[in-house]
Amino acid sequence: MTVNSDWTYAPAPERVDPEIAERHRLFIDGRFLSSRGRRTFETANPATEAVLSECDEANAADVDAAVAAARAAFRKWSRTRPQERAKHLYRIARRIQERSRELAVLETMDGGKPIRESRDVDLPLVAQHFFHNAGWCDKLKYAFPGATDPKPIGVCAQVIPWNFPLLMLAWKIAPALACGNTVVLKPAETTPLTALRFAEICEECELPKGVVNIVTGAGETGRLLVEHPDVDKIAFTGSTEVGKRIAASSAGTGKRLTLELGGKSPNIVFADASIDQAIEGIVQGIWFNQGHVCCAGSRLFVQESVLSEVITKLERRLSTLRVGDPLDKNTDVGAINSGAQLATIRDYLERGRAEGATMHEPSDASLPDKGHWCRPCFLSDVQPSHVVAREEIFGPVLAVMSFRTPEEAISRANDTRFGLAAGVWTDKGSKIFEIASRLQAGVVWLNTYNRFDATSPFGGVKESGFGREGGLHGLRGYLSL
Amino acid sequence: MAREPILKTWKLFIGGAFPRTESGRTMILWGADDRVVAHCCQGSRKDLRNTVELARKALPRWWARDAYNRSQILYRIAEMAEGRTAELVDAIRCVPEAGTDRAPTAATARKEVACGIDRLVAFAGWCDKFPQVIGSRNPVNGPYHDFTMPEPTGVCGVIAPNEPSFLGLVSHLAPVLAGGNVAIALASETNPLPSMVLAEICATSDVPGGVVNVLTGYRRELLPEFADHRDIDAIGGATEGNEERRLLELGAADNMKRVRLEHAAEIDYHDDDARHSPWTIEPFTEMKTIWHPSGS
CATH code, A186: 3.40.605.10
Q: Do A446 and B258 touch (CB under 8 A)?
A: no
pLDDT at B276 (0 to 100): 97
Specify if A297 maps to a domain.
Answer: yes
Query: CATH number of B11-135+149-284: 3.40.605.10, 1.10.630.10, 3.40.50.150, 3.90.45.10?
Result: 3.40.605.10
Q: Do A455 and B288 touch (CB under 8 A)?
A: no
- Smallest Cβ–Cβ distance between A445 and the set B140, B253, B291 belongs to B291
Q: Which residues fall within 8 angstroms of residue A15, CB to CB, at 6 or more apart?
A: none
Report the distance separating Cα B257 and Cα B155, nearest Å.
10
Examine the domain organization and report whether A208 and A282 are in the same domain: no
Per-position DSSP letters for B171-200, written without gaps between them: HHHHHHHHTT-EEEEE--SS--HHHHHHHH
Is A453 near chain B, with CB under 8 Å?
yes
Range of the domain at A136: 23-261+461-480
Give how far the C-alpha of residue B200 lies from the chain's centroid of Cα atoms, to the nearest Å: 14
pTM listed for this prediction: 0.96
Specify if A136 maps to a domain.
Answer: yes
pLDDT at A239 (0 to 100): 94
Nearest to B55 by CA among B91, B17, B81: B17
Tell me the residue type at A48: T
pLDDT at A5 (0 to 100): 65
pLDDT at B296 (0 to 100): 61
Q: Do A453 and B138 touch (CB under 8 A)?
A: yes
Query: From the candidates B228, B242, B256, which should be mutated to test the interface with A, based on the most A CB atoms within 10 A?
Result: B256
pLDDT greater than 60 at residue B82: yes
Pairing of strands B36-41, B9-10: parallel
In B66-202, beta strands by DSSP E: 136-137, 144-152, 155-159, 182-186
Q: CB–CB of A295/A262 below 8 Å?
A: no
Residues of B with CB under 8 A from a CB of A: 133, 136, 138-142, 144, 146, 148, 151, 153, 233, 242-243, 245-250, 252-256, 258, 277-279, 282, 286-293
CATH number at residue A292: 3.40.309.10
pLDDT at B212 (0 to 100): 98
Number of domains forming the structure of chain A:
2
Report the distance separating Cα A127 and Cα A113, nearest Å.
18
First-to-last CA distance in chain B?
87
Specify if A8 maps to a domain.
Answer: no
Q: CB–CB of B180/B63 below 8 Å?
A: yes
**Which residues of A are identified as catalytic?**
260, 294
Specify if A15 maps to a domain.
Answer: no
Q: How far is A245 from chain B (nearest CA, A)?
A: 7
pLDDT at B253 (0 to 100): 96
Q: Do B254 and A465 touch (CB under 8 A)?
A: no
Mean pLDDT by 10 residues, chain A (481 residues): 68 90 97 96 97 98 98 98 97 98 97 97 98 98 95 98 97 98 98 98 97 97 98 97 96 96 96 97 94 95 98 95 94 95 95 95 88 95 94 94 97 96 97 96 98 98 96 97 93
pLDDT at A2 (0 to 100): 61
Nearest chain A residue to B233, by CA: A462
Size of interface A-B (CB pairs under 8 A): 121
Query: Which band of pLDDT confidence, cut at 50, 70 and 90, is reported for residue B99?
Result: confident
Report the distance separating Cα A130 and Cα A118, nearest Å.
17
Q: Do B291 and A436 touch (CB under 8 A)?
A: no
First-to-last CA distance in chain A?
75
Q: Do B279 and A146 touch (CB under 8 A)?
A: yes
Q: Confirm whether the ipTM is greater than 0.90.
A: yes
Report the distance separating Cα A266 and Cα A409, nearest Å.
9
In A218-265, beta strands by DSSP E: 233-237, 256-260
Query: Which band of pLDDT confidence, cut at 50, 70 and 90, is reported for residue B7?
Result: confident
Nearest chain B residue to A481, by CA: B279
DSSP one-letter code for B17: B
Q: Do B138 and A447 touch (CB under 8 A)?
A: no
Examine the domain organization and report whether A145 and A235 are in the same domain: yes
Is A243 near chain B, with CB under 8 Å?
yes
Q: Which residues fall within 8 angstroms of residue A344, CB to CB, at 6 or more apart?
A: A393, A394, A395
pLDDT at A194 (0 to 100): 98
pLDDT at B295 (0 to 100): 78
Report the distance separating Cα A284 and Cα A349, nearest Å.
20
Report the distance separating Cα B78 and Cα A412, nearest Å.
40
- What's the mean pLDDT when you consider all of chain B? 96
pLDDT at A57 (0 to 100): 98
pLDDT at A3 (0 to 100): 63
- Smallest Cβ–Cβ distance between A252 and the set B148, B242, B278 belongs to B242
- Smallest Cβ–Cβ distance between B141 and the set A453, A471, A476 belongs to A453
pLDDT at A8 (0 to 100): 73
Q: Do A466 and B279 touch (CB under 8 A)?
A: no
Examine the domain organization and report whether A395 and A380 are in the same domain: yes
Alpha helices in A41-178 (DSSP H): 60-77, 82-98, 100-111, 115-117, 123-136, 165-178
pLDDT greater than 90 at residue B35: no
Q: How far is A453 from chain B (nearest CA, A)?
A: 6
Examine the domain organization and report whether A315 and A387 are in the same domain: yes
Nearest chain A residue to B246, by CA: A252
> Per-residue pLDDT averaged across B157-178, rounded?
98
Q: Which residues of A touch B287 (CB under 8 A)?
A: 442, 457, 459, 468, 473
pLDDT at B4 (0 to 100): 84
- B197-239 per-position pLDDT tens digit: 999 999 999 999 999 999 999 999 999 999 999 999 999 999 9
pLDDT at B23 (0 to 100): 96
Q: Which residues fall within 8 angstroms of residue A437, CB to CB, at 6 or more apart?
A: B151, B288
Report the distance separating Cα A329 and Cα A333, nearest Å.
11
Q: Do A463 and B255 touch (CB under 8 A)?
A: yes
Examine the domain organization and report whether A202 and A299 are in the same domain: no
Q: CB–CB of A150/A141 below 8 Å?
A: yes
Examine the domain organization and report whether A286 and A378 are in the same domain: yes
Examine the domain organization and report whether A249 and A104 are in the same domain: yes
Examine the domain organization and report whether A253 and A309 are in the same domain: no
Is A407 near chain B, with CB under 8 Å?
no
Describe the strand order of the beta sheet including A23-24 as a list of residue ranges.
Answer: A23-24, A51-56, A40-44
pLDDT at B101 (0 to 100): 84
Q: Which residues 137-196 on chain A approach chain B with CB closer than 8 angstroms?
A: 144-147
Q: Which residues fall within 8 angstroms of residue A320, CB to CB, at 6 or more apart?
A: none
